[in-house]
Amino acid sequence: MVRCLVVVESPAKAKTIKKYLGKGYQVMASYGHVRDLLPKDGAVDPDNDFAMKYVVIEKNANHVKLIAKALKNHDELLLATDPDREGEAIAYHLFELMKEGGLGNKVVRRVVFHEITKSAITQAIAQSRDLSVDLVNAQQARRALDYLVGFNLSPLLWKKIRSGLSAGRVQSPALRMIVEREQAIKDFIVKEYWSIQAHVEKPQPFEAKITILAKEKLKKFSITY
């Protein structure tokens, strides 16, 4: 019988899924993300194809060790983290960490389900796939932007406003858009303009609008007085 180790993010979810899978399966939790960027300068290198340096998250290091230890007694590793790019990234980092410990010829597959029911989970396992490089890259790009923007801007906020504030890939451009819009409002100069319309009665009633004056096509500010 093939022995499978299933890894999900939540310990509560792990307990429920274990009941559905039964013998031959061990279900464990990663407790969320297992690796993150080094918390210092140089974690993302824009001059080296945006190479990223990761470290195991301290609070989850023991969970990683337990997963690696359990994997030694199993034939397959099923990465069943959440079905979004964050979940895909967690699965990728678990895979990388397990490779460091030596996977050998163990099968590693990605399992995705959108509801915690026996039928959904068994179907997801039957339709397991490889890790999605596109989803992993999407999450890493987001994380790199968080780091490159926040790491440089947050200290400026601490200096100019107060400590503890953060600036990121979303807040920073959003703030710029607000500032630029506010400046445009302040710089706006009121300019009056007119349009000329006539109500024509014959040959039948209709509204007419002057579009050409003195053989020139009228524009928005052609008539200003």
Q: In the predicted model, is pLDDT for residue 165 greater than 80?
A: no
Arithmetic mean of pLDDT, 170-197: 88
Across the range 4-27, mean pLDDT stands at 94
Q: Who has greater pLDDT, 36 or 151?
A: 36
pLDDT in the model for residue 210: 86
Q: Which comes out higher in pLDDT, residue 221 or 188? A: 188
Topology of domain 4-136 in CATH is Rossmann fold (3.40.50)
How many other β-carbons are positioned within 10 Å of the β-carbon of residue 65? 13
Q: In the prediction, which pLDDT does 190 show?
A: 87
Closest CA to 85 of 25, 136, 18: 136
Percent of the chain at pLDDT above 70? 99
Residue 54: which pLDDT band, with cuts at 50, 70 and 90?
Answer: very high
Phi, psi (deg, nearest 5) at residue 88: -65, -40
Inter-residue contact 212 to 221 (CB < 8 Å)? no
218 touches 210 (CB < 8 A): yes
**pLDDT score at 62:** 96
pLDDT band at residue 16 using 50, 70 and 90 as cut-offs: very high
Q: Please give the C-alpha separations between residue 177 and each of 77, 170, 201, in angstroms, as whole numbers.
A: 46, 11, 50
Closest alpha carbon to 14 in 92, 86, 66: 66
| Phi then psi dihedrals of residue 72, to 5 deg | -60, -25
Give me the residue spans of the domains in the chain.
4-136
* 1 — pLDDT class (breaks 50, 70, 90): low
* Percentage of the chain exceeding pLDDT 90: 63
Q: Which two tokens stand for residue 164?
A: 């503890």
Q: What is the pLDDT of residue 193?
A: 82
Q: Which residue has the higher pLDDT, 139 or 145?
A: 139
**pTM of the entire structure?**
0.73
Check pLDDT > 70 for residue 105. Answer: yes
What's the rounded mean pLDDT across residues 171-196? Answer: 88
Mean pLDDT score of the chain: 90
At residue 157, the pLDDT reads 81
